[in-house]
Structure 1
Amino acid sequence: MAWWILFLAGLLEVVWAAGLKYSEGFTRFWPSFITVVALVASMYLLSVAVRDLPMGTAYAVWVGIGAAGTAIYGMTGMGEPVTGMRLFFLGMLVVAILGLKASMPVS
């Protein structure tokens, strides 16, 4: 269950990271509100996940999901360039996230 909570926390990190763009420096109310709510919820879920997962692993996976998801959103939803190098390193990031999960002992 902790892994699912961590995954949701990572997805919410994508929401708040993308929300930073839409909030225009926290000058637009609703995008700012959604960004802050997603940030608080993401942090809360991360704190719940680290009750059962090692902090270092959970944090690295959380950041990785957020970074990869935000980069993918930037390319698919915000017109950022899609290059072979970007896709390669995104793939490496996903492999690292999966590797961290796979390296956890079964409990």
Structure 2
Amino acid sequence: MSREWACLIIAIFCEIAWATTLKRTEGFTRFWPSVINVLFLCGLLYFISAAVNVLPVAIAYPIWTGLGGVGVAVVSVVFHKEKLSFMQIVSILLIITGAVGLKLAEVH
């Protein structure tokens, strides 16, 4: 795996962590949850910018946002006991399919 794809994967994990810790900040009124949230935000910005230094933005950004959103949905279902309808699950699977398709159709 290349460095830029590794950076993209790390950016996706930072995106998931940032989004899932956002609620715990309670509107940035809680100090430590807010600090942790901002650190994840800084990490995701650093790693996505490193990834798009080499990868086309037209590929990296949709993969980052799509898989980040999927990850947030999975974490929300597993850890926060949120419910998804059948159509929401199908739609999430379509996002994953699209992200894989963007990677597989990569122009060299």
Q: Distance in 2 between matches of 1:105 and 1:14?
A: 27
Show the counterpart of 2:58.
Answer: 56
Show the counterpart of 2:4.
Answer: 2
TM-score by length of 2: 0.93
Structure 1 unaligned segments of length 5 or more: list them.
none
Show structure 1 runs of 4+ deviating over 4 A: none
Q: Establish whether residue 39 from structure 1 lines up as the match of residue 41 from structure 2.
A: yes
TM-score by length of 1: 0.93
Q: Distance in 1 between matches of 2:101 and 2:68?
A: 16
Show the counterpart of 2:82.
Answer: 80
Q: Distance in 1 between matches of 2:105 and 2:61?
A: 15
Percent of counterpart pairs with the same letter? 36
Asked if 2 retains the 8 angstrom alpha-carbon contact of 1:8 and 1:45, the reply is yes
Q: Distance in 2 between matches of 1:29 and 1:56?
A: 36
RMSD: 1.0
Q: Distance in 2 between matches of 1:97 and 1:34?
A: 28
Structure 2 unaligned segments of length 5 or more: list them.
none
Q: Distance in 2 between matches of 1:4 and 1:103?
A: 18
